Structure 1
Amino acid sequence: MLVSWNSYYCYILSSAPQYYSREGVFRMTETDTRSGLYLVFVCTGNICRSPMAEIIVRDEMEKEMLDLVATVDSCGLGGWHVGQGADERAVAELRRGGHDGGSHRASKLGAEHMDADLFIAMDKGHREALIEHGIDPAKIRLMRSFDPNSPEDADVADPYYGSAADFETTRKNIEAAVPGLLDWIRANRD
């Protein structure tokens, strides 16, 4: 645990950030603790593709200590699943890839996401919807655009109505894009 003092607060930097003041102990919000780059993965309902991308990328960032310079999040364009966990097939496929998706809770695109440095859309429809929400097109990339072996403008197909094999394809498409995305983070960090 790392402790930082200033004249009024004692900050404890850990997996559950808190600060101590004369008034007591308070929990910091994600926005309070966010520093550096902020990336948001976007799909339709935030139960399959975007949480898979968020979890896989976060795990890889932690391995290279890039989580110290960037924060990742995910959301859906629709609110059908807000508060629910990821699709059980997505969680199972993440587990097969060595990742834990059990704590994910779906959220909908909202004001808390609008200060993102980069929105990573899973498909062209999501990119267009983000533009319709007023997001600068220069701040939007398709996930597979980070994979140099991917066809131009390729989507991460929605596995929701598919089979376990479709979820595996989704994971592999995301994993193939991770090195390029980590390179982007390195090139754009403060």
Structure 2
Amino acid sequence: MTYRITVVCTGNICRSPMAEWVLRERFEAAGLGDRVAVDSAGTTAWEEGNPVDPRTIAAMHRHGHTGDYAQHRARVFDKRWFADRDLVLAADHGHYTVLRRLAGVPEAKDRIRMIRSFDPAGLKGDALAIDDPWYGDDSDFDRTYAEITGAADGIVDHVRGQLEA
């Protein structure tokens, strides 16, 4: 059985692909790479088909990641995906709300979580949101990276527990 995760932001060119790549690396490092599949999508079609924002790639490189990120193309989350996703991770409250509306049924809604809800700092309310770095500069992309990596090990631990249950 493959545990399937989709990370969701607005356009699928900044936050969600960054989280996808970080999580893939963390699952590989945890020895779970062959049991967990991670992808990403957006809640809107604004960027559909576009490559990732180059500032996202630059942030990944600044933090020591060497993956080939040029193949990414933005896509829109399809509500039919709930049928085979075990976890859907929202970058901010707006995405969370859209996903819950798309989910419809309680079983699907239960699989939607905020990315930062897995941060061991026990964040609540507005602190759970990962702000969109698109309007900012390199420091905003670095903040996004820090927020994602702050939650990444908690996500890995959660999934490990699910796989062992």
TM-score normalised by L of structure 2: 0.89
Give per-residue Cα distances to partners, 1:73-98, cap 9 Å, x unaligned: 10001112222211010110011122
Alpha-carbon separation, structure 1, partners of 2:80 and 2:42: 13
Kept in 2: contact 1:70–1:189 (CA 8 A):
no
Q: Does 1:188 align with 2:162?
A: yes
Q: Indicate the structure with greater helix content.
A: 2
Q: Secondary structure at the match of 1:189?
A: helix
TM-superposition CA deviations, 1:100-155 (whole Å, max 9, x none): 23222111112563221110000111010001112532111100011011521311
* Pair 1:176-2:130 in alignment: no
Amino acid at match of 1:117: D
Q: 2:92 aligns with which of 123, 131, 134?
A: 123
1:1-190 to 2 correspondences below 5 Å: 35-99=1-65, 100=67, 101-110=69-78, 113-114=81-82, 115-135=84-104, 136-153=108-125, 154-189=128-163
Q: Aligned partner of 1:151: which letter?
A: L
Q: Give the 4+ runs in structure 1 shifted more than 3 A.
A: none
Larger fraction in strand = 1
Greater relative contact order structure (CA < 8 Å, 6+ sep): 2
RMSD value over aligned CA atoms?
1.5
Moved more, 50-59 or 136-145: 136-145
CA distance in 2, matches of 1:113, 1:97: 31
Unaligned runs of 5+ in 2: none
How many matched pairs?
Answer: 156
Amino acid at match of 1:155: A
CA distance in 1, matches of 2:79, 2:116: 26
